[in-house]
Amino acid sequence: MTIETEEPALTVDELAARAGVTVRTVRFYGTKGLLPPPVIGPRRVGHYGPGHLARLALIEELRRQGLTLAAIERYLDRLPPGLDAHDLAVHRAVVASWAPDAVETVPREELQRRAGRALSEEDVDRLAAMGVLGAGAGDPADEDGYRVDAGLLRLGVRLLDVPLSPEAILAARTVLLDHARAAAHELSRLLREEVPERDAQAVRSLSAHMQPLVVQALLTAFQRSLTEELREWLGEPPADGSP
């Protein structure tokens, strides 16, 4: 198991705080082989990098989806080797699309802790425009704090550094949601044909087995299609060498 990382800079306590889990959870995942070991630095202190944080976030997302540790291990084993933090974040974002909205109200300090960085007022406004923070009556915060969609926060924070206008990001989000709903509708139709009696347990069981496979299939198909679109846009030959 390998992870491409930047210079590891997080202690286990900092990693746990950024991921919103306990240190005990981090160590547990390490003993199970789900999380790679830290880089041991001076004074025998272990340090973790962005890849560890992204993988931990993916594991937690899979757990929220109801997957067992054994199922999570199988999912992680199917991932291509050498994925970096960005690749893992993309996988987590696709997995999170299966989950219901998870909106919490947190104070500014907690919001920035989870974001892993200081947030300017402009950053907050952009996150609100992307739907990461609840807009309410034009204000993403109320007297109790900021209403944040926990499943979108890390993705939204990464988009803050992307040189795209909020309008373009929102338009891209709409395109992806529309196509995701269409794919989900067709897959749901196929599942209904396989479980005609609407047995709840059978539906949940089939869904639990299908979700990881569907997520990876969608992600792989999307990445290949986008690569081909970019090649065509840049006037490059197709990957297969065909004219």
pLDDT tens for the 243 residues of the chain, in order? 444 445 568 899 999 988 888 999 999 999 999 999 998 887 888 899 989 998 998 898 888 777 888 888 988 888 877 788 877 877 777 676 555 556 778 888 888 888 888 898 888 888 887 778 874 434 555 566 888 877 678 778 878 888 777 778 778 778 877 887 888 788 777 777 776 666 666 666 666 666 667 766 777 777 778 778 878 887 877 665 555
- Picking from 56, 11, 62, 63, the residue whose alpha carbon sits closest to that of residue 38 is 11
Alpha carbon distance 6, 193 (integer Å): 47
The CA angle 176-177-179, to the nearest 5 degrees, is: 65
Instruction: List, for residues 32-88, the tens digit of each pLDDT value.
Output: 999 999 988 878 888 999 899 989 988 988 887 778 888 889 888 888 777 888 778
Which pLDDT score is estimated for 2? 41
The overall pTM is greater than 0.85: no
CB 88 within 8 A of CB 58: yes
Which pLDDT score is estimated for 143? 63
Which pLDDT score is estimated for 48? 93
Which pLDDT score is estimated for 19? 85
Which pLDDT score is estimated for 173? 74
SS (H, E, C) the chain: CCCECCCCCECHHHHHHHHCCCHHHHHHHHHCCCCCCCEECHHHCEEECHHHHHHHHHHHHHHHCCCCHHHHHHHHHHCCCCCEHHHHHHHHHHHHCCCCCCEEEECHHHHHHHHCCCCCHHHHHHHHHCCCECCCCCCCEECCEEEEEHHHHHHHHHHCCCCCCHHHHHHHHHHHHHHHHHHHHHHHHHHHHHCCCCCHHHHHHHHHHHHHHHHHHHHHHHHHHHHHHHHHHHCCCCCCCCC
CB 102 within 8 A of CB 154: no
